[in-house]
Amino acid sequence: MHCIYKYNSIIGDIFISADENFLLSVQFVNHNFIENKENKIIRQTIKQLDEYFRGKRKKFELPLNPKGTEFQKKVWLQLMNIPYGKTATYKDIATLIGNTNASRAVGNANNKNPIAIIIPCHRVIGSNNKLTGYAGGLDKKEKLLNLEKNNK
């Protein structure tokens, strides 16, 4: 059964979607939300997000199944390797996936990340070390980065 849960976090409402086996999405907006429904994966996600927002969890341990192209999945896998409290540039990620000219494509893949926070696209910044686009808004990105910086 596919479940959606509205999680109230310190950075605003987050919508968690999961089936019986995998976390499918963690997003800031869900236009199809009707009512809270939980399952085992959603309960695990809530517990780990609670720990993360309290500064007690630095790495998530959840079964993920993000839907995307092979390129997007390759980018998302690299995002998972950015350490807690650290950042990388779009160019860094492009280099890690073996295509130094793919910075813009990495940005597009970041934008399509269906599992925010858990797949830490908030840790990717511009080559000028400035915060750039984030699906939840730059204010949320800044709060997440500050949370991590203050809890290293």
Report yes or no: 128 and 90 within 8 Å, Cβ to Cβ. Answer: no
Active-site residue (options: 121, 124, 144, 145): 121
Query: Distance between CA 96 and CA 41 in Å, rounded?
Result: 30
Residue 5, exposed/middle/buried by CB under 10 A (0-12, 13-18, 19+)? buried
Residue 72, exposed/middle/buried by CB under 10 A (0-12, 13-18, 19+)? buried
Nearest to residue 27, comparing CAs of 63, 56, 58, 67? Answer: 67
Paired with 124 in beta bridges are 88
Query: Distance between CA 86 and CA 151 in Å, rounded?
Result: 12
Residue 92, exposed/middle/buried by CB under 10 A (0-12, 13-18, 19+)? middle
Active site (annotated) includes residue 3: no
Q: What positions carry a catalytic annotation?
A: 121
